[in-house]
């Protein structure tokens, strides 16, 4: 059933277009057997917000994404997307691996994401999505001839071709080299600004979260330990004092103020070993 969010959303920078779906979790808990991963978590992302979720490996980031996509049921609590239980209709997800079908050409891989259109319209929509990610001229090629960054662009086109109201991004740029990663961040930001979907980005990279998000959430001990508004103009300049200040706050939260020099990429075991 529809209900009002627990607290009024703070004013945020919004994407244009107004197509986004709000996301609300109330008293959300998720356990796997005896292990409680998320505990009575409350979170409200207004429609169109770009929200990033960071936290140490295993803190429950992907679990949270799966819940808002309706892929997993909560152990306790309520999740809604646009005030409704989440369904696969309104949301799409992008993973670290592009997960393309190797036996299907690029255009056909994007067509996989189309819903409810006739053949001709579907093809036009897929071509249009490919153009938007800068691959309009690669529609007839096999995925195997594309670079890693290009494959992720195809995955992005496939995710966006259905014009989702919510896009979940699970470390989508984690496997790309640093320059491709920045290009993809810029592309994601531009498309989000144009299309106005709500974006929920899980990332190990604090600077990526700050480059893209209106708001950064730190997950820790099963709940939100920091909820930071990123009120910086876009496009953001990496290494700017504003970003550095917020990055410091997040790293202090994650590792304690003594470890200010902690790496900003929280990926996996190295950071865990160093800063456990």
Positions in the binding site for ligand ATP (CB under 6 A): 32, 37, 55, 57-63
Q: Which is nearer to ligand ATP, 53 or 155 (CB)?
A: 53
Cβ at position 274, least distance to ligand ATP in Å: 16
Q: Which is nearer to ligand ATP, 3 or 32 (CB)?
A: 32
Cβ at position 220, least distance to ligand ATP in Å: 10
Cβ at position 196, least distance to ligand ATP in Å: 27
Q: Which is nearer to ligand ATP, 57 or 147 (CB)?
A: 57
- Tokens representing residue 27 in the block: 């008293």
Residue pair 104/126 in contact by the 8 Å Cβ criterion: no
Q: How many CB atoms lie within 10 A of CB 72?
A: 17
Cβ at position 75, least distance to ligand ATP in Å: 12
- Sequence-ordered alpha helix ranges (H) in the chain: 61-68, 106-111, 119-132, 148-160, 178-195, 206-212, 241-255, 268-275
Q: Which is nearer to ligand ATP, 73 or 147 (CB)?
A: 73
Q: Which is nearer to ligand ATP, 55 or 98 (CB)?
A: 55
Q: How many CB atoms lie within 10 A of CB 237?
A: 11
- Return the residue matching tokens 């640093």: 178
Residue 242 CB-half CA count within 13 A: 13
Q: Give the integer Cα–Cα distance in Å for 64 and 81.
A: 13
Cβ at position 186, least distance to ligand ATP in Å: 24
By DSSP bridging, strand 198-202 and strand 166-170 are: parallel
- Tokens representing residue 239 in the block: 């290494």
């Amino acid at each position: 059933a529809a209900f009002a969010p627990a607290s009024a959303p703070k004013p945020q920078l919004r994407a244009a277009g107004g197509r986004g779906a709000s996301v609300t979790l109330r008293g959300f808990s998720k356990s796997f057997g005896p292990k409680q991963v998320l505990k009575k978590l409350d979170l409200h992302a207004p429609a169109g917000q770009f929200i990033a979720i960071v936290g140490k490996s295993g803190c429950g980031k992907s679990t949270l994404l799966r819940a808002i996509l309706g892929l997993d049921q909560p152990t306790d609590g309520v999740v809604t997307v646009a005030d409704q239980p989440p369904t696969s209709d309104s949301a799409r997800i992008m993973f670290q691996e592009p997960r393309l079908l190797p036996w299907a050409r690029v255009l056909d891989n994007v067509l996989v994401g189309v819903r409810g259109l006739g053949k001709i319209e579907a093809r036009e929509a897929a071509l249009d999505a490919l153009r938007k990610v800068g691959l309009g001229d690669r529609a007839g090629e096999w995925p195997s001839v594309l670079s890693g960054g290009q494959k992720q662009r195809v995955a992005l086109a496939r995710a966006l071709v259905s014009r989702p109201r919510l896009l979940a991004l699970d470390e989508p740029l984690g496997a790309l080299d640093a320059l491709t990663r920045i290009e993809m961040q810029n592309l994601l930001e531009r498309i989000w600004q144009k299309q106005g979907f709500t974006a929920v980005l899980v990332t190990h990279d604090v600077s990526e979260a700050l480059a893209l998000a209106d708001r950064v959430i730190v997950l820790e001990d099963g709940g939100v330990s920091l909820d930071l508004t990123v009120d910086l103009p876009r496009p953001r300049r990496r290494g700017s004092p504003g970003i550095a200040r917020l990055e410091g706050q997040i790293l202090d939260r994650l590792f304690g103020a003594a470890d200010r020099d902690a790496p900003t990429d929280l990926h996996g075991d190295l950071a865990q070993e160093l800063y456990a």
